[in-house]
Structure 1
Amino acid sequence: MDQVESNPTIPVKALQEQLQKKYGVGFSIHKVFRAKSDAKKIVVGDYQKQYEVLRDYILELQSTNPDTTVKLELRDVSESNLGFKACLRDFLRLDETHKKSPYPGQILTAVGLDSNNGIYPLAYSIVEIENCESWKWFLESLGDELDLHAMSNFTFVSDRQKGLLQAVSQLFPCAEHRFCLRHIHENMKKQWRSKEYKDHLWDCATATPVLEFNHYMHQFSLYDKSTYEWLKSIPPQHWAKSHFTGKLL
């Protein structure tokens, strides 16, 4: 508390070193981070709770200061004409990650692109486990918000998780589902790690004409037949530019 009160911007690493030196006990960086967060709430106050008493503060001002004029304007964000739907791009990146907390679970996320090709965090959900049912619930909820239906031709990008593949194919059969090339490469590296494998994969993925794609795939087969067969098992319409429909290049 004293360190945070005297220096609210003290780095967590420096605070960790001070505590370990003072008490002669090791503290994990995550524990120190949580302790600093709790201390800051006590020192500077909880911002959310301060906003919750804003109306009470206004009433107090008016009762103790006659003729005081206070204007509080509330805005319903659901009625705003800004946001993702205002400049909709038919592209969503779907991903998942494990929660790092005492309560197990996984976080499902949907990220879009704005009109300046900037990343647009769109939605997230905390679920018990990542499977087809949890992805269907997440995508159905997302579809309700974005007015997506079974015939929508959105483009989804994912890491090929089986439950997600099933959910997208069932809910949005007309959507184009592309696979993250980085994840494909990460899977490839489990058996084939050299830079040459990455270069061959990249040549195949970025080739534009189908003939050029076939050429690079043939070159890959000459380099390593087993890797070629592994890559061939992944339908090219999901990862190779030459087989995309052209909706999003």
Structure 2
Amino acid sequence: MEDIRKNPDVKGKELNQILFQRYGLYMKQSTLYKMKQYVINEIFGGHDKSYRKLPAYVKVMHETNPESAAFCALTDIGHPQRSLQFSSIFISFAAQIKGFVDGCRSLIGVDGTHLKGNYGGILLSAIALDGNNEIFPIAYAIVSVEDTQKWSFFFWHLYNLVKDSGRTDWTIISDRQKGVDIALKDVWPSANRRYCCRHLSRNFKRVFPVPLMYILFWRAANATNPYTFKKAMERLRKEGKTPVMKWFAEIGKQNKWTKHKFDSSICCDSNTSNLLWRVSTRHWVWTGAYMF
């Protein structure tokens, strides 16, 4: 039990090695994982117990760390024995807020990932870069689905963290999905927008699978001056004709994806959301499962 308490991510193979070293026996992988899940539930409690404690967790956060932002939303489902059901939660600790506002660049990367477990859900996260280009987690939220309404919930709370900071040059970078754009327009219309070119390049490659077109796409996306961008686009027009130019026109303004049009006041020309991928999704998932 203590081995699993120290490392809930321990693999079945490692548990078998521990069993053999101590007791000289092996167990089936399926049996080991059932045992591991039982021990995790005994140590940390099940997900149902954790979700029931969320309102109390938010209350304790406000009492012990009053400058933190923590909000838990419940939905009335009209059940006679259980009238309230968890809907969403947003969390950003005071140290994260202060560190972000005082020491990070104005580029915010946002993304959503599916949670594992019996209840599922979506983990929304916001990450920034500090002055040394190191990742700096800002906030996260757990919601039921990834749609415009939930992104609005997330951006509304995120905006409230920075609205009194005196800084206005905020830029949001993520993949190109309608929910994010609509939500930003509704609750944070002053925020600038960037699209992750890694996601754009995948969509581009599906439509134009020729390797040369892929190379030219990145040449245009990474162009740091108008001349380089113009030459790349001329070559793209020559190779792809009207369809490729129509594809780029549908993306929107150039300042959302090509470096030479980015706002220089941000002091960061990143056009991918790699800063989010560098944060271990698995770490966030375990945190969401056991911190409550």
Residue of structure 2 in register with 1:243 after alignment? 261
- Give the counterpart letter for 2:115 in structure 1: K
Residue of structure 2 in register with 1:234 after alignment? 251
Residue of structure 2 in register with 1:190 after alignment? 206
Partner Cα separation in structure 2 for residue 160 and residue 201 of structure 1: 16
For residue 264 of structure 2, give the secondary structure of its aligned residue in structure 1: coil
Relative distance call for 1:11 and 1:245 in structure 2 (3 A) is closer
Partner Cα separation in structure 1 for residue 31 and residue 107 of structure 2: 40
Partner Cα separation in structure 2 for residue 234 and residue 214 of structure 1: 17
Q: Deviation per CA, 1:159-186, whole angstroms, max 9, x where unpaired?
A: 1110110111222323210000111112
Aligned residues: 213
Relative distance call for 1:202 and 1:122 in structure 2 (3 A) is same
Show the 5 A alignment for 1:148-159: 152-159=168-175
Quick check: 1:215 aligned with 2:231? Answer: yes
User: Which has the larger displacement, 27-36 or 105-114?
Assistant: 27-36
Partner Cα separation in structure 2 for residue 193 and residue 148 of structure 1: 47
The offset of 1:27, in angstroms, is 2.1
Relative distance call for 1:22 and 1:208 in structure 2 (3 A) is closer
Relative distance call for 1:11 and 1:244 in structure 2 (3 A) is closer
Q: Deviation per CA, 1:143-167, whole angstroms, max 9, x where unpaired?
A: 2222269x93311101111011011
Q: Deviation per CA, 1:7-45, whole angstroms, max 9, x where unpaired?
A: x779514246568x845x55299767645645877xxxx
Q: Report which of the two structures shows the higher radius of gyration computed on alpha carbons.
A: 1
Partner Cα separation in structure 1 for residue 230 and residue 206 of structure 2: 25
User: Which has the larger displacement, 115-124 or 194-203?
Assistant: 194-203
Residue of structure 1 in register with 2:147 after alignment? 131
- Give the counterpart letter for 1:174 in structure 2: S
- Give the counterpart letter for 2:191 in structure 1: A
Quick check: 1:180 aligned with 2:179? Answer: no
Partner Cα separation in structure 1 for residue 205 and residue 32 of structure 2: 31
Partner Cα separation in structure 2 for residue 115 and residue 177 of structure 1: 21
Q: Is the 8 A contact 1:111 1:120 kept in 2?
A: yes
- Give the counterpart letter for 2:99 in structure 1: G
Name whichever structure is richer in strand by fraction. Answer: 2
Partner Cα separation in structure 1 for residue 210 and residue 36 of structure 2: 39
Show the 5 A alignment for 1:45-194: 76=65, 78=67, 83-147=99-163, 152-194=168-210
Identity %: 27
The offset of 1:127, in angstroms, is 1.0
Normalising by structure 2, what TM-score? Answer: 0.61
For residue 132 of structure 2, give the secondary structure of its aligned residue in structure 1: coil
Partner Cα separation in structure 1 for residue 115 and residue 35 of structure 2: 19
Cα RMSD (Å): 3.6
- Give the counterpart letter for 1:118 in structure 2: E
Gaps of 5+ in 2: 20-24, 45-62, 68-93, 270-292
User: Which has the larger displacement, 190-199 or 135-144?
Assistant: 190-199
Partner Cα separation in structure 1 for residue 221 and residue 174 of structure 2: 16
Q: Is the 8 A contact 1:12 1:29 kept in 2?
A: no
Q: Is the 8 A contact 2:225 2:260 kept in 1?
A: yes
For residue 105 of structure 2, give the secondary structure of its aligned residue in structure 1: coil
Residue of structure 2 in register with 1:58 after alignment? none
Normalising by structure 1, what TM-score? Answer: 0.70
Higher relative contact order (CA 8 A, sep 6+): 2
The offset of 1:96, in angstroms, is 0.9
- Give the counterpart letter for 2:127 in structure 1: V
Partner Cα separation in structure 1 for residue 227 and residue 209 of structure 2: 27
Partner Cα separation in structure 2 for residue 38 and residue 202 of structure 1: 48
For residue 30 of structure 2, give the secondary structure of its aligned residue in structure 1: coil
